[in-house]
Amino acid sequence: MSANSRAVDKSPLSFDVEVRRLPARGFPVKIDADAEARAALADAHGLESVDRLHAELLVERWGKDGAKVSGRVVADIVQSCIVTLEPVPATIDAAIDGVFVPENSRLAVPTYGEILVDPEGPDAPETFSGDSIDVGALVEEFFELAIDPYPRAPGAAFGESETGDGAMNPFAALAKLNENR
């Protein structure tokens, strides 16, 4: 997802940085989400709460017309356990690293033909339209990628299968719920 793909649905952390006006030493950005932004993030990402979100970035010139964004996002969140639905607190600490070029740049990845990708190499530059990059949306993207998709409370485990073979059976917990009705 590009940093500007949310034209209609802006990130609660939205913060535009104009690429043409970047100073030679880069432009530092600090984002501390307020209560309203944290509530919107929790709702958008299926979390019980986002108690804190802080990001520190450096936006630097990259090439002739591009920008490099690097930094870190740190957040305290509460998720629901996938087994017991108990609240599970977690801390996110994710590095942010991205390179952006204008849509018309020759460095932009073509949308046609073959593309050679080195899985161990750096990511290809993302494109942006206009003259600015929404670095807040980029922070939200890295925040989302760092969320544990299967949070578990300590000691929570799915039940064993009916045959007792020790195999994980996600339907065993549902069967027990049905028995209690």
Number of domains in the chain: 2
User: What percentage of the chain carries pLDDT values higher than 70?
Assistant: 72
Question: Does the pLDDT of residue 1 top 50, yes or no?
Answer: no
Domain-embedded: residue 135 = yes
Q: Residues 112, 175: one domain?
A: no
What is the pLDDT confidence band of residue 95, given thresholds at 50, 70 and 90? very high
pLDDT of res. 110: 53
Domain-embedded: residue 6 = no
Write out the two tokens for 116. 């050679």
pLDDT of 35-49, one tens digit each? 999 999 999 999 999
Residue 163 structural domain: 157-181
Domain-embedded: residue 10 = no
Q: Are 92 and 147 in contact (CB under 8 A)?
A: yes
Q: Residues 20, 101: one domain?
A: yes
Residue given tokens 């942006």 in the structure block: 128
Question: Does the pLDDT of residue 89 top 90, yes or no?
Answer: yes
Q: Residues 76, 93: one domain?
A: yes
Q: Residues 53, 33: one domain?
A: yes
Q: What is the pLDDT averaged over residues 20-43?
A: 96
Number of Cβ within 10 Å of residue 16's Cβ equals 16
Domain-embedded: residue 116 = yes
Q: Residues 169, 108: one domain?
A: no
Q: Residues 86, 113: one domain?
A: yes
Domain-embedded: residue 7 = no
